[in-house]
Structure 1
């Protein structure tokens, strides 16, 4: 087991980080702070009712380790998140491989969905209103073997913002298709995913 210079093992640091993230989530909920506006019915995705206090890649990745361990163990990480786009990254390695010496398609799907879902959560948080979110459909296209490091980027922030705004204004559900493209270190398109998200304002 590797030991850091501070004397903590990697396992100890990992458990400490998860405990701290969970504690911050609970404290933000009990204090009534508006950090967790989105509420998802898809429990395989983030339990956004207890999202970490700081909505940044660092805390999102730490929270993923606690609440979405399959993606975390597969190596999916949030790299950047802005008002218009979100990028996730994942590297081909033994734990996420398929029998054909490339990355398993489901791991690519996790990274792609996360890039769209986090962008939607950010838009819901900006609205300041409770909104439910759920993936209704998805499509995928694979054009090259997934090897090395892949980056999945969704740039549909404007479309997601419009969907949230329309859902809140109408009081009815809205659907929106968004796209995430996965490219390798050479910049070549490896896979592309499209997700149909449904959003609906929640009463009260």
Structure 2
């Protein structure tokens, strides 16, 4: 009895174990398949234990999104320019597909969560810093539209890559190199030549 009780209530880092199990489920089956009861079973704890850390499914998905945005901000921060931020975006999506799925579905998480807001703000700042480096920066609304264009290109490419829709077009090509070429086409200097 004592052994079962300890296994059920003294897990070590239960929060991390539940997050890791959730990421596995999301990566293989999608966010809709997520269940706190199933995650508790996978972690070998009582069905009520995950609620202690996350309250409910939305709380768990909010934690996944906040962790994802923090990792995303770290990945973007080291990139020297807008094109390499796009490459970092694609690399992040490929290496963290479960985070990526949840981060950009705001209906899955609590929009007012302080950890999520802080991590998202860091990621947004890192993305905007790349746009500030463009030769045409400082044009007001054009900067905003350039940011939307860059985000659309990176996000669209990453989404198509993860969903398998680029398999034929890529034909074994490295996704990061393919994105660099694509970005050079779209964000070529005004004289028409790539960087």
TM-score, structure 1 normalization: 0.29
Between Structure 1 and Structure 2, which shows a larger proportion of strand residues? 1
Select the structure of larger CA radius of gyration: 2
Judging by fraction of residues, say which structure has more helix.
2
TM-score (norm 2): 0.29
